[in-house]
């Protein structure tokens, strides 16, 4: 491009990101996938404080900068968060709750812990039952039945507990919306401490004390606590008052399990306490956790957030879906090693049953959809009376992944009613769709990605028609394209055990700090195998490096091209005593050529990679060259090489060609 003065002086505004298109697009092939995925490569990095002093690889530095960690101090706070502040200064009612529980412990009082039947509720219940029992009280678990009672504390439970002589009740992961139950408790003289993280009602119901994130200051690190986190705050304060180290240790172990299982945001005190607690889980004093680790085959492996999320939490969750939650409470509070192993086997069996049920319902649901052929509905609504309420949400999520459409699965509730679980791809708002159909529903609730409802059988057809209309409008919009947003480019040559070790410094990953999504370009497919369960295993080569990759529940029937760009999570696969790095594929696409057209506002640039140089030509045939190497390519011998527009142009071109992290 020389210095002719024709180089534009102003970059495009931020909302008009440059786009790239192949210079020689590949011939259309019906065996290729319908491009439902929209890859959005990360923007080039803005100049900022170098993070090199932290010793992290360039790709991880780029990832952190794109997540907003632009200074060494901010990254250090992520790696080693500050200690949790005094919770008494953040929870106004904590002192009242602790003193009432201390009295119960001193007097050996009987009290009830009312939890929920999900992993958060069951671990919260076990946490308080275990700690209070250890400190001298006589707690009992009171978890409603998923099928018979529904969610949360109810008036009938209060009456039953009061009749058994219970004068103190603590709710965990529920209670704040139980107006009728709390009013009945007040009438019967039962004191109630509510710990809950669901939406606060406009008016505070009658209760002795309330621990809720919304009662803390707006900038409080306690704002992201799940139900088990609030139970931990209460138990920790009580154990510290009672000077019990064992109670503190058992409470922290269950906090870690419940927080990861509930997918709470891994920020604030959640992150601090997980960093403190996860390294101790391997040697947990709780026989129940030791038994779960044994059955999950974790004897020789560390227990981290991944193993909790994929190995331990499903065995707990399965009980709440298919069995009696009391099983989990007993497992996590028993001191008997043999009893713990027996209970863990029961959890494991329910988890196997849950997997079998999910597989069977999924196969049946897929057959129903595929029977419609090309006439399938834009909103997949499927109903079978024999489907199990406890697992249809899992299956609905699988169908969303497979078909890319919103899904509702309905099972019989009796009395001519059906109960549904709804899941949807990103961009389709489940809560808004259900609210728009509220006149047809008995009850409903949820958030943008998931929800549920109950409907009379005679209204299902009208409901499906209305949901189809919303889904069709969504499919006609750009929002229906599944966005794949890799955060940093990593060549295979950089993916070694040292990189894995540095990546582990950023753990734990979860909501608010997700598992990094990397991408790599021009990967050759050397081997491919279809595994049992519908998984795809690939051996990929890039340069001299070969890596195994796995695509779970692979839904593609198209022929893979020889060269791919892959978006992936990096995992350490342990099998029969051997450890190896493995790519867990999120998406893949055919690789482009070494040439493309870069569009910036109304201008086009022809970009190519030649040997070790990046070459950019404008419409007048003028040329700009940059040397490729570590980081963003550097301009060669250009009199205006420091101009912001040219620097941004080179960075965009390097990112589009897969040459920069």
The CB density around residue 252, as the number of other CB atoms within 10 Å, is: 22
Q: Is residue 276 scored above 60 in pLDDT? A: yes
> What pLDDT score does 497 carry?
93
Measured in residues, the chain has a length of 661
DSSP 13: P
State the Cα–Cα distance between residues 607 and 428, nearest whole angstrom: 36
What single-letter DSSP state applies at residue 510? B
Note the pLDDT of residue 640. 67
Beta strand spans in 122-271 (E): 138-141, 168-172, 191-195, 209-211
* Phi and psi at residue 632, to the nearest 5°: -70, 135
Q: Would you tell me how many other CB atoms lie within 10 Å of the CB of residue 218?
A: 6
Residues contacting residue 158 through CB under 8 Å, at least 6 positions apart? 169, 181, 184, 185, 188, 190
Minimum mean pLDDT among 103-107, 171-175, 271-275, 652-656: which range?
652-656
- Average the pLDDT over 223-252 and give the result: 94
Q: What is the DSSP letter of 635?
A: E
Phi, psi at residue 540, to the nearest 5°? Answer: -115, 145
Instruction: State both tokens at 565.
Output: 């760009």
Check residue 558 and give its pLDDT: 59
Report residue 114 as tokens: 């009312």
Residue predicted with more confidence, 13 or 460: 460
Average pLDDT, the chain: 86
Classify residue 563 by its DSSP letter.
E
pLDDT higher than threshold 50 for residue 34: no
Confidence of residue 511 (pLDDT cuts 50, 70, 90): confident
d(CA 649, CA 655): 10
Confidence of residue 653 (pLDDT cuts 50, 70, 90): confident
Q: Hey, what are 496's tokens?
A: 């070694």
Query: Where residue 82 falls among pLDDT bands split at 50, 70, 90?
Result: very high
The CB-side HSE value for 426 (13 A sphere, CA atoms) comes to 8
Dist CA 371 CA 223 (whole Å): 47
Mean pLDDT of 286-303: 89
Q: 410 Cβ partners below 8 Å, 6+ apart?
A: 381, 382, 383, 384, 387, 392, 418, 419, 420, 455, 460
483 vs 41, 76, 486, 555, 585, CA distance in Å? 10, 31, 10, 17, 15
The three-point CA angle 619-621-624 to 5° equals 100
Strand-pairing partners, residue 141, are 113
Contact 296, 345 (CB under 8 A): no
Over residues 88-129, the pLDDT tens digits come to: 999 999 999 999 999 999 999 999 999 988 888 899 999 999
How many angstroms separate the CA atoms of 433 and 440, rounded?
12
Question: Smallest Cα–Cα separation from 450: which of 471, 468, 473, 426?
Answer: 426
Quote the pLDDT of residue 139.
Answer: 96
* Greater model confidence, 433 or 574: 433
151 pLDDT more than 90: no
Residue 631 has a pLDDT of 60
Average pLDDT over residues 17-29: 36
pLDDT for residue 284: 93
Instruction: Please report the pLDDT score of residue 517 as a whole number.
Output: 95
Q: What domains are defined for the chain?
A: 1-22+594-661 (no CATH), 27-67+487-590 (2.40.50.460), 90-351 (3.90.1640.30), 372-483 (3.10.310.30)
Given pLDDT bands bounded at 50, 70 and 90, which one contains residue 291? very high
Burial letters 385-396, b for 16+ CB under 10 A, else e: eebbbbbbbbbb
Q: Degrees (nearest 5) of the Cα angle 279, 284, 286?
A: 155
DSSP β-bridge partners for residue 38:
483
The fraction of the chain above a pLDDT of 90, given in percent, is: 56
Structure tokens at 421: 């679980």
d(C-alpha 198, C-alpha 195), whole Å: 10
Beta bridge partners of 291: none
Which is higher by pLDDT, 2 or 610? Answer: 610
Residue written as token pair 């809560």: 431
What's the pLDDT score for residue 112?
Answer: 96
Bond prior to 508 in cis (omega within 30° of 0): yes
Who's near 164: CB < 8 A, 6+ residues apart?
A: 110
List beta partners, residue 540: 525, 547
The answer, yes or no, to whether residue 186 has pLDDT greater than 90, is yes
Per-residue tokens: 476: 């006609």
Using only C-alpha atoms, the chain has a radius of gyration, in whole angstroms, of: 28
pLDDT at 478: 63
Q: Is the pLDDT of residue 461 over 50?
A: yes
C-alpha atoms less than 13 angstroms from C-alpha of 436 in its C-beta half-sphere: 15
Identify the residue with better confidence: 148 or 66.
66
What are the residues facing 26 on neighbouring strands? none
Q: What is the pTM of this model?
A: 0.81
φ/ψ of 601, rounded to 5, equals: 55, -120
Q: At a CB cut-off of 8 Å and minimum separation 6, what does 511 contact?
A: 263, 264, 265, 266
- Average pLDDT score over residue span 159-168: 95
Structure tokens at 412: 């019989």
| Model pLDDT, residue 596 | 67
Q: Residue 301 contacts by C-beta under 8 Å, 6 or more apart in sequence? A: 307, 574
Q: What is the spatial distance between Cα 527 and Cα 46, in angstroms, rounded to a whole number?
A: 39
pLDDT at 657: 72
Confidence of residue 471 (pLDDT cuts 50, 70, 90): very high
Cα→Cα distances 627→31, 594, 659, Å: 38, 15, 11
Q: Classify each residue of 617-641 as buried b or exposed e, where b means 16 or more C-beta atoms within 10 Å of its C-beta.
A: bbeeeeebbbebeeebbebeebeee
Residues 196 and 230: beta-carbon distance below 8 Å: yes
Q: What is the DSSP letter of 308?
A: I
Task: Check whether 31 has a pLDDT greater than 70.
Answer: no
Average pLDDT rounded to a whole number, residues 561-574: 89
Lowest mean pLDDT among 484-488, 560-564, 593-597, 648-652: 593-597
Quote the pLDDT of residue 3: 32
pLDDT band at 145 (very low <50, low <70, confident <90, very high): low
Distance from the first to the final alpha carbon of the chain? 25
Q: Which helix (H) or strand (E) holds 41?
A: none
At residue 254, does pLDDT exceed 90? yes
**pLDDT higher than threshold 80 for residue 480:** no
Residue 597: its H or E element: strand 595-600
What pLDDT was estimated at residue 47? 67
Looking at residue 274, its pLDDT comes to: 96
For residue 430, pLDDT over 80 is answered with: yes
What is the per-residue pLDDT for 556? 58
Residue 228 has pLDDT above 70, yes or no: yes
């Amino acid at each position: 491009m020389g210095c002719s003065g024709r180089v534009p002086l102003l970059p495009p505004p931020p909302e008009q990101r440059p786009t790239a298109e192949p210079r020689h697009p590949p011939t259309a092939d019906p065996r290729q996938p319908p491009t439902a995925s929209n890859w959005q490569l990360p923007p080039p990095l803005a100049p900022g404080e170098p993070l090199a002093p932290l010793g992290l690889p360039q790709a991880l530095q780029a990832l952190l900068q794109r997540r907003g960690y632009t200074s060494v101090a901010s990254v250090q706070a992520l790696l080693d968060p500050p200690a949790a502040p005094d919770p008494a200064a953040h929870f106004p009612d904590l002192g009242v709750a602790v003193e009432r529980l201390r009295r119960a412990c001193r007097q050996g009082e009987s009290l009830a812990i009312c939890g929920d039947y999900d992993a958060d509720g069951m671990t919260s219940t076990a946490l308080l039952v275990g700690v209070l029992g250890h400190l001298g009280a006589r707690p009992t678990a009171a978890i409603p039945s998923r099928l018979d009672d529904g969610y949360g504390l109810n008036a009938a439970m209060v009456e039953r507990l009061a009749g058994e002589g219970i004068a103190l009740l603590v709710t965990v992961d529920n209670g704040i919306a139980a107006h009728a139950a709390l009013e009945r408790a007040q009438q019967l003289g039962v004191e109630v401490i509510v710990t809950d993280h669901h939406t606060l009602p406009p008016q505070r119901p009658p209760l002795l004390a309330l621990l809720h994130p919304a009662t803390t200051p707006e900038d409080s690190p306690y704002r992201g606590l799940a139900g088990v986190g609030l139970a931990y705050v209460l138990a920790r304060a009580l154990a510290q008052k009672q000077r019990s180290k064992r109670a503190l240790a058992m409470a922290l172990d269950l906090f870690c399990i419940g927080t990861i299982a509930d997918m709470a945001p891994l920020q604030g005190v959640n992150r601090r306490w997980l960093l403190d607690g996860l390294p101790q889980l391997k040697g947990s004093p709780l026989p129940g956790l030791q038994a779960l680790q044994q059955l999950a085959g974790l004897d020789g492996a560390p227990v981290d957030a991944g193993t909790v999320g994929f190995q331990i939490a499903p065995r707990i969750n399965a009980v709440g879906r298919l069995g009696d939650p009391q099983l989990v409470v007993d497992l996590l509070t028993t001191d008997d090693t043999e009893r713990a192993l027996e209970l863990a086997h029961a959890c494991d069996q329910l988890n196997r049953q849950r997997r079998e049920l999910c597989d069977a319902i999924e196969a049946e649901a897929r057959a129903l959809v595929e029977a419609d052929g090309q006439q399938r509905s834009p909103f997949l609504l499927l109903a079978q009376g024999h489907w199990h309420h406890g697992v249809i949400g899992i299956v609905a999520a699988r169908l969303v992944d497979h078909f890319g459409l919103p899904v509702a699965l309905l099972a019989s509730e009796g009395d001519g009613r059906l109960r549904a679980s709804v899941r949807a791809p990103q961009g389709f708002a489940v809560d808004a769709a259900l609210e728009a159909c509220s006149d047809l529903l008995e009850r409903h609730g949820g958030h943008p990605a998931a929800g549920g409802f109950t409907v009379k059988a005679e209204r299902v057809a009208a409901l499906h028609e209305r949901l189809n209309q919303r889904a069709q409008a969504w499919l006609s919009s750009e929002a229906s394209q599944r966005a794949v947003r890799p955060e940093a480019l990593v060549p295979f040559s950089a993916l070694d055990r040292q990189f894995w070790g540095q990546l582990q410094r950023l753990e734990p990953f979860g909501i608010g700090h997700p598992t990094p999504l990397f991408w790599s370009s021009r990967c050759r497919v050397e081997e491919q195998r279809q595994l049992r369960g519908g998984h795809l295993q690939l051996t990929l080569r890039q340069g001299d490096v070969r890596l195994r990759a796995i695509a779970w529940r692979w839904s593609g029937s198209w022929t893979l091209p020889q060269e791919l760009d892959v978006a992936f999570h990096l995992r350490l696969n342990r099998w029969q005593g051997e450890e190896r790095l493995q790519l867990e594929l999120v998406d893949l696409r055919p690789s482009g050529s070494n040439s493309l057209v870069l569009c910036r506002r109304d201008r086009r640039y022809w970009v190519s990679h030649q040997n070790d140089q990046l070459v950019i030509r404008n419409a007048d045939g003028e040329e700009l060259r940059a040397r490729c190497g570590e980081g963003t390519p550097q301009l060669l011998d250009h009199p205006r090489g420091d101009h912001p527009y040219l620097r941004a142009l080179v960075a965009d071109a390097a990112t589009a060609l897969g040459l920069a992290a």
